[in-house]
Amino acid sequence: MLGVWRLQLLREVGRRGTIRAAAEAMSITPSAVSQQLRILEAEAGVTLLEPVGRRIRLTEAGQRLARHADTITAAIDAAEADLAASRAEITGTLRIAAFPTAARAILPGAIAQLGRDHPRLTVTLRDFETAESLTALRLDEVDLAVVDEYDDATRIVEPAIELIELSTDPLYAAVPGAPGPAGAPIVLRDLAEADWIMDTETSNIRGAVERACARAGFEPRVRSACRDYSVIIALVEAGLGVAILPGLALRDRRVRARIAPLGPAMARRVMVAVKPERRAHPAIAATLAALHWPAE
């Protein structure tokens, strides 16, 4: 009979591409992974792995077996959620990932609420961009993730992941000048000759803004690229360029620059991503209930 533990090891090797990475994910030694996979190949009676340069990949038979391992692991997750629901108290560790502005504006209140309601539940938080969060969720490194999407190019299509709408987050233009009432929208085309302060090249918001600028007929002249919105805001305040900021980045923050909505309007969708078989787990259900959009 094929061992479930060995099937999960095979699944991790297929996902991560090396014995060492799979060993780190499963908290065992590389030699133990190799030994267990040799046993699994003997049990299966077929070759499951083949080297490709310095990495390793699953054979066709290994891929078929790994798909069965996915099904088995999902069933185990569902069984754990069912068992946890029978306990009188929510305990254990819940691992959350969230993009940085959500980690700052949304998660602290939710985690504090969980601590008050379920004192024996430990919650950990990692600030990941959406692509990183989805990878961590697929690899079972986190239990749920707060993610965002801006347009068709950033649309999340993950058949094995359920997306739960949280809210929409409007985008704003930030330009040097005295702060005041938002007033009339700033037309994107009117910023064509300005220097721009943007997020890093791999971020969802930068790609969405660059595509919006292209539709407006220009390519933004990027002067600085920063991942930290506090740095982006400081550069705009110093008169070094303009920026597009999500609403969450402006929560509880005094900005010494002009902030105005965009024309045409732009916004991102903010969602919670979770594996469907784990949604009923009491800790995840409690977290979904605790996640609230921050008040203005």
pLDDT band at 12 (very low <50, low <70, confident <90, very high): confident
Which residues have CB under 8 Å from 80's CB, separation 6+?
A: 281
Please name the residue that has the structure tokens 């060492």: 20
pTM of the model: 0.76
Which residues have CB under 8 Å from 205's CB, separation 6+?
A: 150, 171, 199, 244, 246, 268
* pLDDT tens-place string over residues 16-62: 888 888 877 777 788 878 888 888 888 888 888 888 888 888 888 88
Domains present along the chain, CATH in parentheses:
4-84 (1.10.10.10), 90-167+270-290 (3.40.190.10), 169-266 (3.40.190.10)
* Averaged pLDDT score across all residues of the chain: 88
* pLDDT tens-place string over residues 189-236: 999 999 999 999 888 999 999 999 999 999 999 999 998 999 999 999
Cis peptide, bond prior to residue 179, ω within 30 of zero: no
Provide the H-helix boundaries in the chain.
Answer: 4-16, 19-26, 30-44, 60-85, 100-105, 107-117, 130-138, 204-215, 229-237, 247-250, 282-290
Q: Which residue has the higher pLDDT, 188 or 17?
A: 188
| pLDDT confidence of residue 86 | 57
Per-residue pLDDT for 15 more than 60? yes
Percent above pLDDT 90 for the chain:
51
| pLDDT confidence of residue 169 | 96
Per-residue pLDDT for 258 more than 90? yes
Query: CA-CA distances (angstroms) from residue 44 to 9, 129, 277?
Result: 14, 39, 28
